[in-house]
Structure 1
Amino acid sequence: MQRLASRAVLAALIALLPLLGGCVSGYFAALNRGAPPAPPSSLSFLPRQDVALDVFPVQGEGEAPVVVFFYGGRWQDGERADYAFVGEQLAAAGIVTVVADYRLYPEVRFPTFVEDAAAAVAWARENAARYGGRPDALFVAGHSAGAHIAALIGSDPRYLAAHGLRPKDLAGVIGVAGPYDFLPLRADDLIEIFSADPATQAASQPVNHIDGDEPPFLLLHGESDLLVWAENSRRLKARFDAIGAPAELRLYPGVGHVRILGSLRYPALAPTRTDLIEFVHRHAAR
Structure 2
Amino acid sequence: MPNPALAVSVMDPFNLPAAMDGGTAKVGDGIAYADGLRNKLDVYAPEQRGEPRPVVFFIYGGGWSRGERGEYEFVGRALASRGFVVVIADYRLYPEVQYPSFLEDGARALRWVQDNIANYGGDPNRLFLSGHSAGAYNAVMQALDPSFREEYGVTMPILAVGALSGPYDFYPFEYNEVRDVFGQAVSPEGTQPINLITSESPPMYLASGTTDPIVRVQNSERFADRLRAQGVWVTTQYYDGFGHMEPVLAMGAMWRWRMPVLDDMVGFFQRFGAFPSGVPYLAVAPEPPQMLPDSIAPIDQIVSQLNAMFQPIEE
Report the TM-score, using the length of structure 1 for normalisation: 0.85
Aligned to 1:56: 44
- Secondary structure at the aligned position of 1:47 is classed as coil
Summarize the alignment of residues 186-197 of structure 1 with structure 2, pairs less than 5 Å apart. Answer: 186-196=174-184
C-alpha distance in 1 between matches for 2:65 and 2:227: 29
Who is 1:213 aligned against? 200
Hey, what's the Cα distance between the residues in 1 that align with 2:212 and 2:235? 19
Distance in structure 1 (CA, Å) of the matches to 2:50 and 2:202 = 25
Change (3 A) 1:245 1:268: same
Deviation at 1:218, TM superposition (A): 0.8
Measure the CA separation in 2 of the matches of 1:230 and 1:159: 28
Structure 1 match to 2:216: 229
Distance 1:207 1:231 in 2: 13
Where structure 2 has 5 or more consecutive residues not aligned to the other structure, the ranges are 1-5, 277-315
C-alpha separation in 2, matches of 1:54 and 1:196:
31
Match of 1:67 in 2: 56
Task: Judge conservation of contact 2:7–2:67 (CA < 8 Å) in 1.
Answer: no
Distance 1:186 1:178, change over 3 A: same
Report the equivalent of 1:122: 111
Q: Does 1:30 align with 2:17?
A: no
Which amino acid is 2:154 matched to? L
Aligned partner of 1:278 in structure 2 is 267
Amino acid aligned to 1:65: P
Deviation at residue 159 of structure 1 after TM alignment: 1.1
Out of 177, 198, 202, the residue aligned to residue 165 of structure 2 is: 177
CA shift for structure 1 position 24: 4.4
Query: Which ranges in structure 1 are unaligned for 5 or more consecutive residues?
Result: 1-22
The farther-off stretch of 58-67 and 128-137 is: 58-67
Note closer, same or farther for the CA distance 1:268–1:237 as it changes in structure 2 (3 Å cut). Answer: same
Does the CA-based 8 Å contact 1:70-1:141 persist in structure 2?
yes
How far did residue 60 of structure 1 move? 2.9
Deviates more, 1:244-253 or 1:145-154: 244-253
Instruction: After TM superposition, give the deviation of residue 116 of structure 1 in Å.
Output: 0.3
Deviation at 1:61, TM superposition (A): 4.1
Contact 1:65–1:280 (Cα < 8 Å) also in 2: no
Q: Does 1:110 align with 2:99?
A: yes
SS in 2 for 1:257: coil
In structure 1, the residue corresponding to 2:32 is in which secondary structure?
Answer: strand
Aligned residue among 36, 40, 43 for 2:27: 40
Counting aligned pairs with the same residue, the percent is 36
3-state SS, counterpart of residue 68 of structure 1: strand
Separation in 1 of the partners of 2:57 and 2:227? 22
Secondary structure of 1:255's aligned partner: coil
Contact 1:215 1:246 in 2 (8 A): yes
2: distance between equivalents of 1:88 and 1:267?
Answer: 13
Tell me the residue number matched to 1:100: 89
Equivalents in 2 of 1:282, 1:126: separation in Å?
26
Is contact 1:56-1:96 (8 Å) kept?
yes
TM-score under structure 2 normalisation? 0.78
Instruction: State the superposition RMSD in angstroms.
Output: 1.9
Distance 1:143 1:218 in 2: 12
Output one character per residue of 1:217-273: Cα deviation in whole Å (capped at 9) or x when no partner: 111111111111111111111111111111111111111111112111121121111
Pairing partner for 1:139 from 100, 124, 128: 128
Give distance in 2, aligned partners of 1:229 and 1:175. Answer: 14
How far did 1:48 drift? 4.3
Greater shift in the superposed pair: 273-282 or 207-216: 273-282
Separation in structure 2 between the aligned mates of residue 134 and residue 71 of structure 1, nearest angstrom: 22
Partner SS state of residue 235, structure 2:
strand
Aligned to 2:227: 240
Give the structure with the higher percent helix.
1
Pairing 1:165–2:154 present: yes
For 1:185, the aligned partner's letter is F
User: SS of 2:16's equivalent?
Assistant: coil
Whole-Å Cα distance in 1 between the matches of residues 15 and 34 of structure 2? 26
What does residue 286 of structure 2 align with?
Answer: none
Q: 1: CA distance between counterparts of 2:27 and 2:117?
A: 14
Aligned partners of 1:25 and 1:77: how far apart in 2?
11
